[in-house]
Amino acid sequence: MQISPSILSADFANLQSELEAIATADWAHVDVMDNHFVPNLTLGPPVVEALLKVSPVPLDCHLMIEDPDRWAPGYAEAGAQSVTFHVEAATDPVATARAIRAAGARAAFAVKPGTDFAPYEDLLAEVDMVLVMTVEPGFGGQSFMADQMPKVRQVREAVRRRGGEIWVQVDGGVSASTIEQCAEAGADVFVAGSAVYGKDSAADAVAELRCLAEKHRH
């Protein structure tokens, strides 16, 4: 059970100290948005490179960008330890996943709330994690979509059938009141932005989320 706080809800003027505040987490989730795949713009490779130099935890880069086939491998080459691209934006997801892995990172694909998982089941052979979005990508602080839980179960089932070690991540609206249903459905990596950085103590929030998720360890 791993916690990946999203720095989208952190203070962008103080990212180094914001990363240090979540040193007890497993990952730092970095939301890369290009204003095309989603209607919001955040950061790109130069900032990821700077974060890598100071982060106490590995970086979990979530690319909400067009043409990940072209851009995703660069994040792995820069040193990001996990790189997730959206299947809705990828032209050749197999080649993209392979390029990410060849550069030494864990590879993952993400599905938006309106995207079915079934057509992508064969892609499990190429990745280390699947991200099931529990909000429409683009912004932090949105309401959790409980109607995505059947998809989390479906992914967990497919992973179980295949065997091997593929993680199932949820992202969007994950908080102390929603994390248990995610864990129960089969998620094992939990992204949380406002539920960590919106609290007085990010470390306490990470500990609480972890404790709630652990109750449903599979």
Binding positions for ligand DX5, rule: CB under 6 A: 6, 8-9, 29, 31, 62, 135, 137-142, 171-174, 191-195
Q: Are strands 106-111 and 129-133 parallel, antiparallel or unpaired?
A: parallel
- The minimum distance between CB 20 and Zn ion, in angstroms, equals 21
Q: How many whole angstroms separate alpha carbon 126 and alpha carbon 175?
A: 30
5 versus 186: smaller Cβ distance to Zn ion:
5
Is 31 considered catalytic here?
A: yes
- The minimum distance between CB 102 and Zn ion, in angstroms, equals 24
- The minimum distance between CB 52 and ligand DX5, in angstroms, equals 18
60 makes contact with Zn ion (CB under 5 A)? no
34 makes contact with Zn ion (CB under 5 A)? no
Q: Please classify residue 92 by burial: count the beta carbons closer than 10 Å to its beta carbon, then call 0-12 exposed, 13-18 middle and 19+ buried.
A: exposed
Is 116 considered catalytic here?
A: no
- The minimum distance between CB 206 and Zn ion, in angstroms, equals 16
Q: Please classify residue 200 by burial: count the beta carbons closer than 10 Å to its beta carbon, then call 0-12 exposed, 13-18 middle and 19+ buried.
A: exposed
Q: Which does 24 bind (CB under 5 to 8 A by kind): ligand DX5, Zn ion, none?
A: none
Task: Find the catalytic residue in 31, 60, 128, 188.
Answer: 31
Q: How many whole angstroms separate alpha carbon 34 and alpha carbon 42?
A: 7
Q: Which does 135 bind (CB under 5 to 8 A by kind): ligand DX5, Zn ion, none?
A: ligand DX5
139 versus 180: smaller Cβ distance to Zn ion:
139
34 versus 171: smaller Cβ distance to Zn ion:
171
86 makes contact with Zn ion (CB under 5 A)? no
166 versus 195: smaller Cβ distance to ligand DX5:
195
Task: Find the catalytic residue in 34, 60, 128, 171.
Answer: 171
59 versus 122: smaller Cβ distance to Zn ion:
59
Active site residues per annotation: 31, 171
Give the interface with Zn ion as residue ranges (CB under 5 A): 31, 62, 171
